[in-house]
Amino acid sequence: MDAALHHLIDQIQNAALDATPLCIRGTGSKDFYGESIQGELLDTTALSGIVSYEPSELVVTVRAGTPLRVLEEALAEKGQCLAFEPPRFGSTGGTCGGMVAAGLSGPARASVGSARDYVLGVQLINGRAEHLTFGGQVMKNVAGYDVSRLLVGAMGTLGVLTDLSLKVLPVAPLEATLRFELDQSSALNQLHRWGAQPLPLNASCWVRDETTPQSPELLFVRLRGAVAAVESACQTMLADVSGCRLDNAQALPDWAACRDQLLPFFKMPKTTGEPLVLWRLSVPQTAPAFNLPWPQFIEWHGGLRWLWAPASEQVQIRQAASKAGGSASIFIAGSASAAGSIARYSPLEPAIAQIHRRLKAEFDPAGIFNRGRLYPDF
C-alpha cells in the first residue's frame, strides 16, 4: 500500500470514530455542483497516475486524483478518447475521480452513452476504511452486483474512489457539422426523424443566437463515423432541410466550448430583477418544446434542456420536466443567495429515497462522506 492511500485510510478511520464530516475533493473544479460543501477536506490529488493502458483492449486504469487532461492527452497519442466527452472545468479539466463521481457527460451522450456506460471497475475506500474492489477491466463482467456504475454520479457520498478502469474508443475517422435555421419545435421534430434513419448522428444543439440582431434560431448537428457514412449523411440531411456544412476549423472549437459550457449561452444573463440560476432539465428526447419564458439551450437530440430562470420558479419548471417524464435540477446558482433554501435536485419518491438511505448506511455507516452533497438529509 502506497503512502498516499495509507494516509487517506488513516484519515477516514479517524473521522469515522467521532463522525467528523469529510469533504472529498480533487482540484475543486466541481465545487459549484450539488448542495453546499461541508466537512474537513480529504484531498485525493496525491492519488495520481495511469496504472495501466492497453490500447488494443480499449481499456485504461487510472488513479482517481489524475487530472483529466493528463488522461486525455495519453489517449490522444494512441488515437483514442473518452467518447462520452466529460465536461472539463478549470485548467486541468478536474480529476478522473471527480469525473466519475459527478457522472456528467458531454454533447455526444445521446449517441454513445453516458459516463456510467464506460466505467468497468473501481477501487473504493468505504466508511469503514476498507479498500474494496468492484467490477474489473473487461467489458463483460457479470459477477455480483454492478456496484461500479452505482458509484457514478453519487458525488462521493458512498466512499472515496481510488482507482478507475474505463472503456475508451478510437477517434472517429471523420467528423462533420451541419447548421440549420429552425425553430425549437421544428428542430426537435427533425432530429426525431433523422434519429429513425441509419445516420451517424453524434451530437446536436439548438439555441436562439442572441448575439446577432436577427436572433436566429439555430440547430447544429454533428456527424461522426466512417468517411463514406458521414459524407452520405451530409448529402441526405442537406437535401432534406436547407442548411450548410461548417468548416471544422470553426466547428471543432465550438463543440469543445459546448462540452465545457463556455458558449455565450452559459454566461449568466444580466438582470435587474431576481438573480437567475442555470436549470438542467433531463427529459426524454421525444419531449415537446417547452413553453417557458426563459432562454433555452437544447442538447442530446432533445434529451437535455438548459435554461436561465429564477430559482423561485421551481414549481413551474419542475412540473414541466415531470410532466414530460423527466426531472429538473439547479446546475449553477451563481451566488449563495440565488438558490436560497431551494433544493438543487428534484425531491425523490419516498421508496427511492429509502433505497438511497440504505445504500448510504451500508457504504458509509457514520455518514462522514460528502454529507448533504446530493440531498440535505443524507
Residue 321's CATH number: 3.30.70
Residues whose CB falls within 8 Å of the CB of residue 189, separated by 6 or more in sequence, listed in order: none
| One domain, residues 16 and 157 | yes
> Could you give the number of structural domains in the chain?
3
Rounded mean pLDDT of the chain? 93
Cβ atoms 308, 295 nearer than 8 A: yes
Say if 150 falls within a structural domain.
yes
What are residue 374's phi and psi, to 5 degrees?
-90, -50
Does residue 108 sit within a domain?
Answer: yes
Q: What is the pLDDT of residues 233-286, one digit of tens each?
A: 999 999 999 999 999 999 999 999 999 999 999 998 887 778 899 999 999 999
pLDDT tens for residues 25-43?
Answer: 999 999 999 988 889 999 9
Give the per-residue pLDDT at 333: 86
| Segment 88-96 mean pLDDT | 86
Question: Does the pLDDT value for residue 213 go beyond 70?
Answer: no
In a domain? residue 293: yes
Q: What is the mean pLDDT of residues 323-344?
A: 84
Range in 181-190, 266-275, 323-332 the model is least confident about: 266-275
Q: What is the predicted pLDDT for the residue at 272?
A: 72
If you average pLDDT over residues 86-104, what whole number do you get?
A: 92
pLDDT the model gives residue 140:
54
What angle (nearest 5°) sits at the alpha carbon of residue 337, between those of residues 89 and 280?
Answer: 45
**227-240 helix and 184-195 helix, angle to the nearest 10 degrees:** 140
Task: Evaluate whether residue 224 is within a structural domain.
Answer: yes
What is the domain-level CATH number for residue 183? 3.30.70.2190
pLDDT at residue 66, as a whole number? 97
Q: Of 220, 239, 264, which residue sits at a domain end?
A: 264
Q: What is the pLDDT of residues 360-377, one digit of tens each?
A: 999 999 999 999 999 877
- Considering the domain architecture, whether residues 125 and 273 belong to the same structural domain is answered as no
User: Does the residue 344 lie in any domain?
Assistant: no
Record the pTM. 0.92
Cell 467528523 found at: 20
| pLDDT score recorded for residue 336 | 55
Which CATH number characterizes residue 19's domain?
3.30.465.10
Does a structural domain hold residue 378?
no
Residues 283 and 155 in one domain: no
Q: Are residues 161 and 179 in the same domain?
A: no
Say if residue 30 is in the same domain as residue 154. yes
Is the domain of 47 the same as that of 106? yes
The pLDDT assigned to 342 comes to: 87
Helix, strand and coil percent figures for the chain, each rounded to 5:
30, 25, 40
Task: Domain of residue 31: give its range.
Answer: 3-170+358-363
| Co-location of 119 and 235 in the same domain | no
